[in-house]
A and B are shown apart, each in its own frame.
Chain A
């Protein structure tokens, strides 16, 4: 790259002295999709050209301007079209015939796009000879011809085809023969692919490192060929109900390189098969046995030889005390255990387990409803390095126990206390975990502003805060969070009835806020939203459902300032045609939920839908279906928009306490 000449004229720009390479290095430190890069490029012509030369990744909002965009960015290697719902063949032809892009393009993401056919894929595969990474997940209407077209990309190393349900063994066979260099192949949910296809992939693509065949109707027959893959590291067999103990036994014969094995939800696997895992893979690091066989003493002793195991997931399994104790005695290298929704996790077993595994970093105890403060005491005493603790709905844990968590686990970064008995005193101690980034306090009815202000005062790194239905929280608490946590990106204050515009105004100081959920806050008005819109330019997701006072005047600033808004929920608000239509100026708006808008008319809706060019998903009342003209719906669907028609009856919101009582009543009834 040529260096910029030092200007000798009166136009003495200090930046001219800096070579392109140095500016590139600076730009490398900016996130590729952040607004900073955009701002940089808008400074001056030379910055504009530098940024054009520097950019490698592109995620365009529309495909219409691709030709000019491609000429602006000559060095693109990754093209992410996940924001473009409609990518017809013509677009792919443009891409593949672009003289600058076709040789440099290495990666393309079509996972959220539709309307391309084998013809477009074929030209892409043939002309972009350096293409190594293609994501065509969710191409549910792609057939074998599409897979065969992709197979022409000889250098492909990574292919994701999740949910390509129409592709059969024939298509996969083409891929297996054509793309011999594949290292990663995801076939999850490709229901048309069976033993023959997977077997051929394993025979032909010898370089495979990652193979995801989850939920495929494959049986033991293709296991021997998978086993012979010399470099296979990650194997996902989730939900392969036809694979049984014999298949596992065959697996143990090879795959010395295997590091990840996922056999969750494999219903045909019985405890008999597990010892073959234990004896087969010495190098295994991650094992997922979720939703499978009961975790008993015998099962765990079968895993004893896995000395390298770091992550063990047993979600949804039946667990015995002896099984947990045996787990404590083996697999000393474990750093992550997930016991989410395991029935049978008791204080006795869990305490033994955690005392033996003091080095645990992550522990998931979601819905382990039998544990009490005894477990928490053992966890906090031995696992002091814990970074993530999830204990949603551990209802028997008393509020005193949370004092222990805050006092002893100083390194916590993620804490999920949803639906727990924690109170302000507990939060005060939790605030000692100064590194905390994600804090979930949903349905914690005992917490108030006092506890929250402690968090706000001492947890400056907080990124995500969930206060869903924690009705004790008011403006004061939110304001202290907004003051103390400048990095806050996500906040959920849904159904916190006492929240007003003051909270939103204070939250507008968190400039990185991208997700705001204030459902069911009747006191919030357009004033608060305007404040958010005016300063939180990163806002991408906004949920103001059931904010009855929200009207069109909130939409105008949103439309004007929130140019990154992708998703909005306006159900049960007072927004009318005008507000909806004004949102059309948010060019990247993709998803809209507009149920029960009293002021909405069919013609206004039609105009708004037509104006919002980037819509991919719209949730609407069923009644509008007949009121909107059919050609319009066809046109919108042709643009890539899908409609979800709902026929919900209008619901009056309950008081949070009533809601919880009702929830518990339901639970006891069940």
Chain B
């Protein structure tokens, strides 16, 4: 148990690191209260140097320390160059109790991960020892060699931190909900984000080469000569994931670095529930907690105290509040955290509206036109304000308020054609051919191409999007090592059948596939 404790300490330590890296990467987001906490690392510049293959020290790196894989050692001594992060650990010690609680839920996976981490930390410790031992003969060397050595350690630490944070993902209080429901796993997206952030500075240098050559990636990132080390592959995976993340960030207006916010995911039932706050006494539901508290006053005097009426959890502790972002529970949706191009939703209201609009039936029909359907009542009301003013009509039934929008729609979709309003066709008919013309225009009006309503069109659009977003569409099948995936399937894995089980690739032995190739989501799709 002591071991575990120490490991989790490390875990936290790593989290602090992750933060620091994120800040280094995006200086704009550095909170002013910790301006120089990790300044001595100055990661971006140094790591750039480090990944340069021409640096001579790269090849001079000693091999010996890896013999002592299983040597037990003090964890604290692993980080002689980072006293400030050690302080951080002290600050966050009080969370350990909570961690233990979480660990109770996921003993097996966590254990395997931690033992794996232990190995790695020992490895690193030996390396540092070696460097310390060699310091005296290399005294005469220029300072840059020293910094290079520092960078070596930084890299190793980085890879460890990735896993630590992955393991520590379950510690985050926000994930508790989903964990309790979905089983003992950590949201893969979050994991990926953290890993990605940490390694971003190094990977960005030859990012272009990374997805193509996994070998190069191994060298650069893991900085470990041991080729069978599964962690190096893990790191590559994170890199891949991170890259797509980066692209998405560029697109997204909100340029939050992944990992700088926590992701919450409400369950479908929660989203669709009309009320989110229920009275524990009478069961009445409320949309707002404040209203519930007002209601509670009726249940007795004990609820009338200012303390009971006050907003709970208002105390702002010393630790900064993480920005919250939301994920859609619908698997495969772009707003779902497992999606390759995940775009988080900003508020709970966004989640609700998104889920209803995209994944629910459109139950509300416009009483004026009887064609437009909506799943969010506010949308219906907005539409009803303008209904009847949309005079530009497509053969698919979609109406537009502007002609250029209609033509843009027609340009986009094969087979859609502008529809002639009924009254015009009627007005044109001569008296003798009235009947025929009416019939004709009726036919024109109903000329559909398989889309009876706009809802279906939207569905189609969703489908199209889905296809585009399908990761396998981005990668050629040649880069997809299917035999490894066979192994992936065979590996016994208790937590894998839950949709968020991407965490499972941390399990040793399952990571021996060489390329990422969007394998994560594919395998998840196959298995779930």
Give how many A residues have a beta carbon under 8 Å from the other chain's beta carbons: 26
Given contacts A118-B425, A119-B436, A178-B417, contact A148 B410 (CB under 8 A): no
B415: chain A residues at CB < 8 Å are 177
Q: Which of A145, A174, A177 has the most CB of B within 10 A?
A: A145
Once A117-B437, A119-B440 are accepted as A-B contacts, the answer to whether A151 and B417 lie under 8 Å apart by CB is yes
CA distance in complex: A178, B416 (Å): 9
B479 within 8 A of A: no
Which residue of chain A is the closest to B392 with respect to CB atoms? A170
Size band of the interface chain B makes with A: 20 to 34
| B428-487 interface with A by 8 A CB criterion | 428-430, 433, 436-437, 439-441, 444
A196 within 8 A of B: yes
In the complex, whether B404 has a CB less than 8 A from a CB of chain A is yes
Bound CA–CA A144/B425 (angstroms): 8
Task: Please report the C-alpha to C-alpha distance between residue A323 and residue B315 in the assembled complex, in whole angstroms.
Answer: 85
A145 with B441: CB separation less than 8 A: yes
Q: Give the residues in chain B near A171, CB-CB below 8 Å.
A: 418, 420
Least CB separation from A141: chain B residue:
B428
**Closest residue on chain B to residue A204 by CB atoms:** B411
Q: In the docked arrangement, what's the CA distance between A199 and B410, Å?
A: 11
Report if A174-B440 is in contact (Cβ < 8 Å); known contacts: A144-B424, A196-B403, A200-B410.
no
B407 close to A (CB within 8 Å): yes
Residues of chain A with a CB closer than 8 A to B417's CB: 148, 151, 173-174, 177-178
Q: Which chain B residues (274-302) contact chain A, with CB distance < 8 Å?
A: none
Q: Quick check: is A122 within 8 A (CB to CB) of the other chain?
A: yes
Question: Hey, what's the 0/1 contact readout for A104-132 against B, CB within 8 Å counting as 1?
Answer: 00000000000101110010000000000
A149 in contact (CB, < 8 A): yes
Query: A117 contacts B407, CB within 8 Å?
Result: no
Residues of chain A within 8 A of B433, CB atoms compared: 89, 117, 119
In the assembled complex, the Cα of A122 lies from the Cα of B437 at a distance in Å of 10
**Given known A118-B437, A170-B418, A174-B417, contact A199–B407 (CB-CB < 8 A):** yes
B407 contacts A145, C-beta separation under 8 Å: no
Report whether B424 and A145 are in contact in the complex, using a CB–CB cutoff of 8 Å.
yes
Tell me whether B418 and A173 are in contact (CB under 8 A). yes
Interface: A464 (CB within 8 A): no
Q: Which residues of A contact B428 (CB under 8 A)?
A: 117-118, 143, 145-146
Cβ contact within 8 Å between A144 and B420: yes
Complex contact B444–A148 (CB within 8 A): yes
A169 within 8 A of B: yes
Instruction: Specify which chain A residues have a CB less than 8 angstroms from the CB of B424 in the assembled complex.
Output: 143-145
Q: Interface of chain B, helix or strand or loop or mixed?
A: helix
A89 touches B407 (CB 8 A): no
Would A170 and B437 count as touching, CB distance under 8 A? no
Give the chain B neighbours of A542 by CB distance below 8 A.
none
In this complex, what residue of B is CB-closest to A117?
A: B433
Taking a contact as CB atoms under 8 Å apart, the answer to whether B411 and A145 are in contact is: no
Chain A residue nearest to B404 (CB atoms) is: A196
Are B410 and A145 within 8 A (Cβ)?
no
Which residue of A89, A170, A178, A200 is within 8 Å of B420 (Cβ)?
A170
Alpha-carbon gap, A177 to B437, bound state (A): 21
Name the residue of chain B whose CB is nearest to the CB of A118.
B440
Known: A145-B444, A177-B416. A200 touches B411 (CB 8 A): yes
Smallest CB separation, A101 vs chain B (Å): 21
The 8 A CB mask of B53-90 against A (1 = contact, 0 = none) is 00000000000000000000000000000000000000
Q: Determine whether A401 belongs to the interface, using a CB cutoff of 8 Å to chain B.
A: no
Which residue of chain A is the closest to B430 with respect to CB atoms?
A117
A203 to B416, CA, bound (A): 13
Residues of chain A with a CB closer than 8 A to B418's CB: 144, 148, 169-171, 173-174, 177
| B403 contact from A151, A169, A178, A204, Cβ within 8 A | A169
Nearest-CB residue, chain B, relative to A194? B403
Complex CA distance for A171 and B407, rounded to whole angstroms? 12
Which A182-223 residues have C-beta < 8 A from chain B? 196-197, 199-200, 203-204
Mask of A412-444 contacts with B, CB within 8 angstroms, 1/0: 000000000000000000000000000000000
Nearest B residue to A177, CB-CB: B417
CA distance A556 to B392 in the complex (A): 60
Report the Cα distance A204→B416, complex, angstroms.
Answer: 11
Name the residue on A nearest B429 (C-beta).
Answer: A117
| Whole-angstrom CA separation of A117 from B404 in the bound complex | 28
A119 CA to B404 CA in the complex, in Å?
Answer: 28
Q: With both chains docked as a complex, state the minimum distance between the C-beta of B406 and any C-beta of chain A, in angstroms.
A: 8
Question: What is the bound-complex CA distance between A484 and B392, given in angstroms?
Answer: 67
Contacts of B392 in A (CB 8 A): 170
Q: Is the CB of A203 within 8 A of B437?
A: no
Alpha-carbon gap, A143 to B424, bound state (A)? 8
Say how far A670's CB is from chain B's closest CB, in angstroms. Answer: 47
A122 to B415, CA, bound (A): 18
Would you call A145 and B436 a contact (CB within 8 A)?
Answer: no
A200 touches B407 (CB 8 A): yes
* B440 close to A173 (CB less than 8 A): no
Q: For A144, what are the chain B residues with a Cβ–Cβ distance below 8 Å?
A: 418, 420, 424
- Could you give, for residues 193-232 of chain B, a 1 whenever the CB lies within 8 Å of some chain A CB and a 0 otherwise? 0000000000000000000000000000000000000000
The answer to whether B425 touches A173 (Cβ under 8 A) is no
Give every chain A residue within 8 A of B425 (Cβ-Cβ). 118, 143, 145
Interfacial residues of chain B within 122-178, with CB under 8 A of chain A in the complex = none
Q: How far is the CB of A639 from chain B (nearest CB, A)?
A: 15
In chain B, residues 242-282, which have Cβ atoms closer than 8 Å to a Cβ of chain A? Answer: none
Instruction: List residues of chain B with CB within 8 A of the CB of A199.
Output: 407, 411
Contact in complex: B440, A122 (CB < 8 Å):
yes
> When chains A and B are docked, how far (Å) is the Cα of A148 from the Cα of B393?
14
Contact A145 B437 (CB under 8 A): yes
Say yes or no: A203-B420 contact (C-beta < 8 A), given A89-B433, A117-B428, A169-B403.
Answer: no
Q: Which residues of B contact A177 (CB under 8 A)?
A: 410, 415-418
Q: Is the CB of A203 within 8 A of B440?
A: no
Establish whether residues A173 and B437, one from each chain, have CB atoms under 8 Å apart when the complex forms.
no
Which residues of A have CB within 8 Å of B429? 117, 119
Chain B residues, CB < 8 A from A148: 417-418, 420, 444
Bound-state CA distance A515–B240 (Å) is 83
Closest 8 CB pairs of A and B: A177-B417, A173-B418, A119-B436, A170-B418, A196-B407, A145-B425, A144-B420, A143-B428
Q: List 25 A-B contacts (CB under 8 A).
A: A89-B433, A89-B436, A117-B428, A117-B433, A117-B436, A117-B437, A118-B437, A119-B429, A143-B424, A145-B428, A145-B437, A145-B440, A145-B441, A149-B440, A169-B403, A169-B407, A170-B418, A173-B410, A174-B418, A174-B420, A177-B410, A177-B418, A200-B407, A200-B410, A200-B411
Interface residues of B (CB under 8 A from A): 392, 403-404, 407, 410-411, 415-420, 424-425, 428-430, 433, 436-437, 439-441, 444
